A and B are shown apart, each in its own frame.
Chain A
Amino acid sequence: MGVALFEKIQEIRAIYPEGTQSALLPALRLAQEEYGWLSPDALREVADALDLTPAMCKSVASFYDQFNLEPVGEHLVEVCTNVSCALYGAQQVLEAFQDELGCRAGETTEDGKVTLRTIECLGGCGWGTIVAVDHAYRKGVKPGDAAAIVKELA
């Protein structure tokens, strides 16, 4: 077991009232930051650190879009394709990323570097198209910007 992760989870646990499992979401986030995704082993670590069962941890993790229950690339490119971004041309932006990366939305590049996916409204509707690159928002992204962004991640 990762001792550092266990300790960090205990710190978070102390923030919340005793006898609650409020630390679960932050703990899952920490584990994912550590391992890239929530593997069965990672879920067991979280469960042990919080005195929960791995099944409880997985049932909660599977509810939320940001938790990866399958391996993902080193980098994450998420294109918002909700209504406002779509009106600015999000689909064309998505297609430009597909071309640049050589994979479809929902897939990871063959070298395991980048996962590309669409995402529901990111809350930047007036500044679309919003693309979250490793969770940091890029605003007003155009299809022509895809190549430079992909190059940054290489």
Chain B
Amino acid sequence: MSHKQIVMAGTDARDLTKLAEYEAVGGYASLAKARALGAEAITNELMTSELRGRGGAFFPTGRKWSFVPSPEQNPNPHYLVINADESEPGSFKDNEIISRVPHRFIEGCLITAHAVLAKHVYVYIRGEYLEPYEILVAALEELKERPDLRGDVTIIVHRGAGAYICGEETALLDSLEGKRGQPRTKPPFPAVAGLYASPTVVNNVETIATVPAIIEMGGAEYAKLGVPNSRGTRLISVSGHVERGGNYEVEPGISLKDLIFAPELGGGVPGGRAIKAVIPGGSSTVILTGDELEVGYDFDSLLAKNTAMGSAGVIVLDDRVCMVQLGIRVSEFYEHESCGKCTPCREGTRWMTQILRKLEAGDASEHELDLLLSVCDRINGKCLCPLGDTAAMAIASYVEKFRDEFIAHLNGGGCPCGDHSPLDGVLAPVAQHIHNHASELVPA
């Protein structure tokens, strides 16, 4: 199978981190074309392309841009903020995009800034991404000598400092304002009152890195790729029990099975083991069983299975993995990353972890499985942002689809997988904190 490359095009043959190399393959030509087109025409082209946000929420990009008020309606400066806080377990595509095609990403920023009338672009990159940060800064340094490309737009790279929640756009804006990164009440949405209470467009790295190609080929041509509601290409992060972990750019609509088994993609499962389950779109998504892999990897097909493409992080789990242990590890992550603003999420994620730990240890009684589902239900839909919702839905899906295994933990007095599961006894940051401070917290 050959796969159409748009975002990563040209990276096999050249080092596109260098401005000269990027220009040699036609880089920054779309910027010139876009400036000639004008703001409204660019936005229309994006609407025609049917591009949807690649951060996970799938919001139509052109429509998002069209919400920005005109300077007559709102005289405040407009801001473009790029969400490069990629922290979803299973996703590592933006890392590779910034590291390998920084100029394509920058070109996308400049085109988008032109479309949404922004003179300032803030790239909020997660603090842990040191190498991509340095590559991006070096690329911007090259642009300093090129006022013809920069125009009157300033791009500022702002580093986060370690908080998953800052991937939520309003939490990101608070963090960018120098505050604790906690989600805001919506409305108002960022397009109306975002950064510094001004009209703001927040887009994901991959979304922005796709913009130059859409301007180059035209929205209508781009919309021919992929399948309805999932147009173009996507960078899909494949990890876990596969031979070839990595990011693969493919057209949505390809089957999940092909993604995992095609020799040029995932390359199959090591040792030829059976697949027990697949997390299809980052750890925030509903799990699929090994029997559900024939599904198309696109928005509609996954929605029909009650799950989502999310940020396109596919995690493959072979038949040794204990689903209760998976639940513990995933729940511990959300417990650690809950910002604490909304009580159901702050308390609920902790409850989920505790009940799952009791199940794993064989100390749980039957009503506690119902209690776990009840806790999930009491988080879902009751918070300002989706962190708690997705944690609850993911954990509930493990129980629903692997109920027999959970029951076996109840009836068998603990984990039937023994220490064969690769997730046995994994130390999460939240547990590390507890074991080091246990003596301080509990009076002797």
Contacts and interface: CB of A to CB of B under 8 A. Distances in A.
Interface in A118-141: 118-128, 132, 135-137
A100 to B, nearest CB: 16
Contacts of B88: 121
Contacts, number: 170
A21 to B, nearest CB: 4
A60 B166 CA distance: 13
Interface string B138-177: 0000000000000000001011111110000000000111
B425 A91 contact: yes
B168 to A, nearest CB: 14
A136 B130 contact: yes
Contact of A83 (B128, B330, B336, B427): B330
A146 interface: no
Contact of B180 (A63, A84, A107, A121): A63
A59 B92 CA distance: 30
A84 B315 contact: yes
A125 B95 CA distance: 11
Given A66-B162, A86-B329, A91-B425, A20 B177 contact: yes
B160 A64 contact: yes
Interface string B215-248: 0000000000000000000000111110001110
Chain A interface size, under 10 / 10 to 19 / 20 to 34 / 35 or more:
35 or more
A118 B429 contact: yes
B238 to A, nearest CB: 6
Given A87-B240, A125-B237, A117 B126 contact: no
Contacts of B383: none
Given A118-B432, A125-B91, A135-B130, A29 B161 contact: yes
A21 B187 CA distance: 23
Interface residues of B, number: 64
B3 interface: no
A89 interface: yes
Given A59-B180, A82-B333, A84-B315, A65 B92 contact: no
A120 B336 contact: yes
B178 interface: yes
Contacts of B261: none
A22 B239 contact: no
Interface in A45-94: 59-60, 63-67, 81-84, 86-87, 89-91, 94
B263 interface: no
Which of A65, A107, A135 has the most C-beta atoms of chain B within 10 angstroms of its own C-beta? A65
A29 B89 contact: no
A26 B196 contact: no
Which of B238, B333, B432 has the most C-beta atoms of chain A within 10 angstroms of its own C-beta? B432
Contact of A117 (B247, B426, B429): B429
A105 B436 CA distance: 9
Interface in B82-130: 86-92, 94-95, 126-130
Contacts of B422: 86-87, 89
Contacts of B436: 104, 106-107
Nearest to B198: A17
7 contacts: A23-B178, A60-B179, A63-B180, A66-B161, A106-B433, A117-B429, A135-B130
Interface of A: 15-17, 20-26, 28-29, 59-60, 63-67, 81-84, 86-87, 89-91, 94, 104-107, 117-128, 132, 135-137
